[in-house]
Amino acid sequence: MTNIKLTIEYDGTNYLGWQRQPQGLTIQEVIENALGKITGEEINLQGSGRTDSGVHALAQVANFQTDADIESSAFQKGLNSILPKDISIISAESVDPEFHSQHSAHSKIYVYKILNRPYSSALNRHRTWSIPYYLCIDSIMRAVQYLPGEHDFRAFTQNGANVKSTVRNIIDASVVYRNQENIEIEIEANGFLKRMVRLIVGTLVQVGKKRITPEDFKEILDSGEKTKFIYAAPAHGLYLKEVKY
């Protein structure tokens, strides 16, 4: 049996996220079905983690096991020939039998893209969060400096999330300001809670709008208490950028 690792790019606009659902189309389901056609087997594709409905991936990682006598590199060409155009296989390779796309991961990097100008984008309306009001980038950058390190992110997770611990370690966090209007907030951590990045970004935007200060953001982070200023950014601006092993 061979263990195959896939690196996948996708536009999540038309899908209910990564994980197979009882109702609605997902990325996992589409790729598993395509792999079934190629191998003649029922494939169980393990992703590095879930992405929510509408979230995109620049390099999602998944793995599956197969008895099919097919060269690992051939899976890239075969899958890309039958997958819809909003899903693309960047690479396919044979890996150690013990490799698991989720459990073997050291960290993940997410990037959130904001378009900050008075008018929206017709072409990127499903790929950026369009904010027509002025954002103070200096204030956002000051607030982001409080993120690295180990914190209890219970204020920045979905209510009722079923997890053993809400403590996560943010390895790095940064803000890139491109072309006076394109803002990218990038966060690398050893793990993420449900909607964690979207809630962090939405609250950072409150800082940028001067509704709260960077110090207020730090107080929310330190206290773990939800406030009226915690806001979830839309899913369509979020991308899984990289999984590190």
* Residues tagged active-site: 52
Closest by CA to 237, choosing from 157, 126, 158, 86, is: 126
Query: Can you read off the two tokens belonging to residue 91?
Result: 């690479």
CA–CA separation, 39 vs 69, rounded Å? 8
Closest by CA to 46, choosing from 56, 61, 68, is: 61
Using the Cα atoms of residue 160, residue 55, residue 196 and residue 182 in order, give the sign of their dihedral: negative
Which letter does DSSP use for residue 234 in this model? P
Largest CA distance in the chain: 59
